[in-house]
């Protein structure tokens, strides 16, 4: 049995796959528009794409079946390296952060710096036959009178892409109290 090597676990914890991509020549660039909070899309050259996932611990290639951890990533980028050489390369990246801002890393969208009440006020009320109405009625099987009552009470709004947004009231926050109940 192979003995436990604490350095391997330390490198797994302290190296972000995004750092490996950004600092291995030629460098990969983050595609901010195509990235999400859970999957960071990196591009390099025509058709070269790698997705960093699992909070920077893993990666995969959407154009093939290739995937792995940071050790495998180094070996993919530099195919001649053994595991020991990959380990040496990863030591250079331990503790470094990817170059993109933390807000981008978290998948932060525009407008989230606005107060919740302001964002809520910008949402449209749910109306009959809107995408949200159709979703709640057909997929969630809510009766039309409940959807209408919630919308009229101001506790239901149109969410993005036909989703529903629901008001949350905290009795401790000084708000007017819990939302009225739909009958």
Chain segment 157-176, per-residue pLDDT in tens: 998 888 888 887 766 554 54
Question: Mean of the per-residue pLDDT values for the chain?
Answer: 84
Domains and CATH numbers, the chain: 6-105 (3.90.580.10), 116-166 (no CATH)
Q: What does the pLDDT average to over 100-125? A: 67
**Which tokens go with 36?**
């999400």
**For residue 76, which of 6, 29, 17, 12 has the smallest C-alpha distance?**
17
**How much helix, strand and coil, in percent to the nearest 5, is found in the chain?**
40, 15, 50
**Which tokens go with 180?**
């009225």
Cβ atoms of 176 and 129 closer than 8 Å: no
Q: Is the pLDDT of residue 92 over 50?
A: yes
**Beta-strand runs (E) in the chain:** 29-30, 40-43, 49-53, 58-60, 67-69, 156-158, 164-166
- How far apart are the C-alpha atoms of 115 and 44, rounded to whole Å? 38
């Amino acid at each position: 049995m192979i003995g436990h090597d604490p350095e391997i676990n330390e490198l797994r914890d302290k190296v972000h796959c995004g750092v490996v991509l950004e600092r291995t020549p030629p460098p990969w660039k983050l595609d901010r528009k195509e990235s999400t909070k859970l999957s960071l899309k990196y591009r390099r050259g025509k058709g070269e794409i790698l997705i960093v996932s699992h909070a920077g611990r893993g990666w995969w290639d959407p154009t093939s079946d290739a995937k792995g951890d940071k050790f495998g990533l180094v070996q993919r980028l530099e195919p001649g390296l053994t595991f020991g050489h990959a380990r040496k390369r990863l030591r250079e990246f331990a503790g470094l952060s990817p170059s993109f801002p933390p807000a981008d890393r978290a998948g932060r969208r525009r407008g989230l710096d606005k107060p919740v009440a302001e964002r809520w006020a910008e949402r449209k009320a749910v109306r009959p036959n809107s995408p949200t109405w159709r979703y709640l009625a057909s997929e969630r099987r809510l009766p039309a009178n409940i959807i209408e009552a919630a919308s009229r009470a101001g506790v239901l709004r149109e969410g993005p892409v036909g989703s529903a947004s629901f008001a949350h009231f905290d009795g401790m926050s000084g708000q007017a109290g819990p939302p009225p109940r739909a009958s």
